Amino acid sequence: MHELAERILAHDVRAVARGLRFVDDRSGGYVQLLKDLFPHTGKAVVIGVTGNPGAGKSTLCDRLIEAYRKEGRTVGVLAVDPTSPYSGGAILGDRIRMGRHSTDDGVFIRSVATRGHLGGLSQSARDMVRVLDAYGAEVILIETVGVGQDEIEITRTASSTLVVMAPGLGDDVQASKAGILECADAFAVNKADRDGADSTVRDLELMIALGGETAAAASKSRGHTVHSEVAAGSAVVKDGAPVPERWTPPILKCVATRGEGIAEVVKALDLHRRWVEETEAGRARRQLRLAEEVREGLREALIEAAVGALGAKIDEAVRAVGARELDPYAATEKLIAEFRGGG
Amino acid sequence: MHELAERILAHDVRAVARGLRFVDDRSGGYVQLLKDLFPHTGKAVVIGVTGNPGAGKSTLCDRLIEAYRKEGRTVGVLAVDPTSPYSGGAILGDRIRMGRHSTDDGVFIRSVATRGHLGGLSQSARDMVRVLDAYGAEVILIETVGVGQDEIEITRTASSTLVVMAPGLGDDVQASKAGILECADAFAVNKADRDGADSTVRDLELMIALGGETAAAASKSRGHTVHSEVAAGSAVVKDGAPVPERWTPPILKCVATRGEGIAEVVKALDLHRRWVEETEAGRARRQLRLAEEVREGLREALIEAAVGALGAKIDEAVRAVGARELDPYAATEKLIAEFRGGG
């Protein structure tokens, strides 16, 4: 077994940091590390936290960490940061985030820069979740900016996805909601003490209703409840509530800066976790996600293998296309034939 | 030759619409269509227009179309729309956009939904640009929301990228700028009549300055000029100005809703086009982009070929991983070996 794997399984904090960097960089031997860790994974609850810029995702994550730690659960966080590494954004982000929890070794936080991950960011996120899972993190939060297709793909690596909204983020935000709808397992309407929170809730209700009628995969609007009271103890997700066979994303109001409404969000996510594990629909979704992972892993490994095998032949194809001796489509076909022919 | 290719080359508007749909859907035979069209491409100026939600990209694009049409140039627009197709966002968007230009057959606008393009959106955009190029569009605008990695990749299919900013879009917007910096060939600070426009300009200057010192690829801050007057005829990009060997992204203030500052943006983009064509650095960048295209095309074609060749073997791998008989990494290696072995 990989020596690093042994140390990660022994809950060595420096080993997990190295392991995450190792996997993120796709350093030589990272696949073996993942193979060694795989049998020790599958226990963590993986929660995607996504939403538009300004919705307050980081603050909400901070509150969720606090809530999980109070329950005695260890937490891992992957913060997918769209800033370039050289801007210092990711590193700075880590320091700021660590501030509150830096003395708590039940929390492990790591920023992931999105640059240089062409085609492989969600695969990389999946692999890093496995490292945290093997290390022993019981709850893993993946925080992403939920705007691009890329970010939406990352949320699909989580078993539950929380979409964070906030009132008054402008018209284009409304437009971008539709793409988010399908991956939301719960909505948190943050900054719910601000004007416009009720209208955000109504927008979400309407969107779910519309989605439910035109897309089979989307939730039905019927029976959908809006949970409007903030921190008023409105136990909309009742303790010991039965797990529904059909999941409808609840809409939960909260004020993360003041810690209001957080308990409700935690309850909703716990119930969703049970839905994934205990219902047929939940298990079917899990299987679908697994199929996606295998296909996506295949996509990435194929191009890696092809680049390794073809080497300079790719450069020659680029030259020929540049000189317009060959069109790019014919160039690709030729390269694939050579790869398959054992080139 | 593909019959559709002949009709597209004959400037048939219904044929180009069909061709774009054909290519976007990856319908059978689309590669042959692209091969037929390829020798007739390479003439269009391709401009990426990107920026955060709310920056006013669509309005600016509308003004750019107007400006190019006044010069007698035909325009094609690909609006990459993050809303799901079923929400009607893309179709509705087309109708709204077409409103102003719908009676002008020198303008062709098409919305592209981002869903269902896993791993292939920028390839698809590139192919659609080729269709518009062969059809005879002289200027092609690609409008994207510039937040995710995905969107940034799309802008790399353009030869010039205009990043649209607006004052007062919140703190997280600042954070996302860094990722955008490297792909910007020019910045438009839209809504420049609003409070905070000067501070947005200063933020951009600072960002360019920081980027210039830490990343070799980024522009140097020295010699950087901010063009602060809006529509005051401050011909910062002088007519007949010499093409600089090193390109520094100009920062141009404008008010798209009132059509102010648009002429400056057009001039800056024209100068950048000349930089790409006439300088060594510009040609080197073009070659680099071409290399990216070949690699990316290879990536997509490989997975397509592998899925076609492996078929049910992939489903079997998913089952084995689900049953934890196999880890996903070993499953992938096995599939690739079978693909290369002529499976």
User: Between B50 and A168, where is the model more confident?
Assistant: B50
Q: What is the pLDDT of residues B78-104, one digit of tens each?
A: 888 655 333 333 334 444 454 556 667
Contact B131, B31 (CB under 8 A): no
Specify the pLDDT at position A199.
Answer: 87
Specify the pLDDT at position A211.
Answer: 64
Residue type, B39: P
Contact B186, B165 (CB under 8 A): no
User: Between B90 and B5, where is the model more confident?
Assistant: B5
Lowest mean pLDDT among A295-304, B105-114, B279-288: B105-114
Instruction: Report yes or no on whether pTM surpasses 0.80.
Output: no
Across the interface, whether the CB atoms of A327 and B35 are under 8 A apart is answered: yes
Across the interface, whether the CB atoms of A294 and B306 are under 8 A apart is answered: no
Partner residue facing A339 (CB), from B87, B314, B340: B340
Contact B197, B206 (CB under 8 A): no
Confidence of residue B327 (pLDDT cuts 50, 70, 90): very high
Confidence of residue B264 (pLDDT cuts 50, 70, 90): very high
The DSSP symbol for B64 reads: H
For the residues B55-63, what does the mean pLDDT come to?
89
Specify the pLDDT at position B146.
Answer: 63
B212 has pLDDT over 70: no
B227 has pLDDT over 70: no
Chain B residues in contact with A79 by the CB 8 A cut-off are none
**Structure tokens that stand for B168 in this block:** 């007062």
Residues 6+ apart with CB under 8 A from B163: B50, B51, B146, B180, B183, B184, B186, B187, B188
The DSSP symbol for A260 reads: B
B113 phi-psi bin (left φ>0, alpha ψ -120 to 50, beta other): beta
User: Between B91 and B251, where is the model more confident?
Assistant: B251
Q: Which of A260, A271, A274, A273 is nearest to A228 (CA)?
A: A260
B263 has pLDDT over 90: yes
Specify the pLDDT at position A93.
Answer: 41
Chain B residues in contact with A175 by the CB 8 A cut-off are 53, 81-83, 89
**Structure tokens that stand for B131 in this block:** 């269709």
Specify the pLDDT at position B226.
Answer: 43
For the residues B112-135, what does the mean pLDDT come to?
78
User: Between B172 and A298, where is the model more confident?
Assistant: A298
The DSSP symbol for B103 reads: T
| Regions of chain A where pLDDT drops below 50 | 84-96, 98, 118-119, 171-173, 175, 212-235, 343
Is A184 an 8 Å CB contact of chain B? no
B329 has pLDDT over 50: yes
Mean pLDDT of chain B: 80
User: Can you say whether the dihedral through the CA atoms of B13, B19, B20, B25 is positive or negative?
Assistant: positive
Confidence of residue B179 (pLDDT cuts 50, 70, 90): low
The nearest alpha carbon in chain A to B336 belongs to A302
Specify the pLDDT at position B270.
Answer: 95
Q: Which of B304, B329, B274, B268 is nearest to B119 (CA)?
A: B304
Nearest chain B Cα distance for residue A230, angstroms: 25
Across the interface, whether the CB atoms of A294 and B328 are under 8 A apart is answered: yes
Is A115 an 8 Å CB contact of chain B? yes
